Homo-oligomer: A and B are copies of this chain.
Amino acid sequence: MAEQWLTGIDVGGTTIKMAFVSMDGELIHKWEIPTDVSEGGLHITKHISSSLRHTLSVLGQEESVLKGIGLGAPGFIEMKTGFIHHAVNIGWKNYPLKDELEKETGLPVTVENDANMAAIGEMWKGAGNGESDLLCVTLGTGVGGGIILNGQIVHGVNGMAGEIGHITSIPEGGAACNCGKTGCIETIASATGISRIAALHIESNKDSSLYKVWNDTKTITAKDVAISAADGDEFASEVLEKVTFHLGLVIANLSNSINPGMIVIGGGVSSAGETLLMPLRRHFEKFALPRVAEGAQFAIATLGNDAGVIGGAWLAKQNMR
């Protein structure tokens, strides 16, 4: 049988990650092109199409080897039609992305929210290990996520499902969130949130190893907190204790409702590994029903920046020509 390749595309505000992926999810070739946000992102589909053709020819492959495209983008997307209501960082507004890219490439295109696409990637080839009831939590600048139930992404009635960053963990008196509410878990467990909490309390913890960092740079990053906590610094551990209390509560409450078999923690903050997972599991188990806690394994995401394009390939495979 002739070879069959899938295409995963992860569109960000600065670069577009692209990859050819085998039918069983192995990366064959990956590359990036810059995102041209001029004229409301109107040139992007042309750039993608010519980059696909160019890369195929460099690799000595016919165009017929490609069987479909799965593409992830940030913003409000109508999944069924691949219509982008608004993608602020890219410039697309009321843009029929799926139709345009299908016209340019002649391939079937599936469009998905980028966080969901990364969750699918982790389910297929990463930490999710094929588990079909999966909760992905991404701790980066913000807190994002994706929910997979019965092996399918949960979208909800208007595509907002999985936006777990705006679950309220402090109902009264919490910090202001970018979304306009207060006390969202994003204000606590994102890299920004951890940094904020550390800065808030550092002046009364001058014996912490983080105090020197603070004095030198007037900022403490989430990474600084994780490193100091791993080294046994008491204040840094207290910060992580507070963060994982709230994150454990939020994940347990969601798990009491959807009963996932696997909880994958990704994003920059997840590089803290067991320093984060250990207190997180402890708080999670306090708030989860015993049978729910039994069923749920925790894991750190393993695919890093490749999760998106691999998830895209999975989507392409579901919708092959």
Contact = CB atoms under 8 A, between A and B. Distances in A.
B259 A164 contact: no
A287 B257 contact: no
Contacts of A245: 171
B254 A159 contact: no
A289 B152 CA distance: 23
Contacts of A252: 168
Contacts of A259: 154-161, 163
Nearest to A145: B257
A167 interface: yes
A292 interface: yes
B257 A164 contact: yes
B160 A256 contact: yes
Interface of A: 76, 131, 133, 145, 147, 149-150, 152, 154-164, 166-168, 171, 179-181, 245, 249-250, 252-254, 256-261, 286-287, 289-292, 294-296
Given A149-B156, A166-B289, 12 more contacts: A76-B291, A147-B257, A156-B260, A156-B261, A156-B292, A158-B261, A160-B256, A161-B258, A162-B257, A168-B252, A180-B290, A181-B287
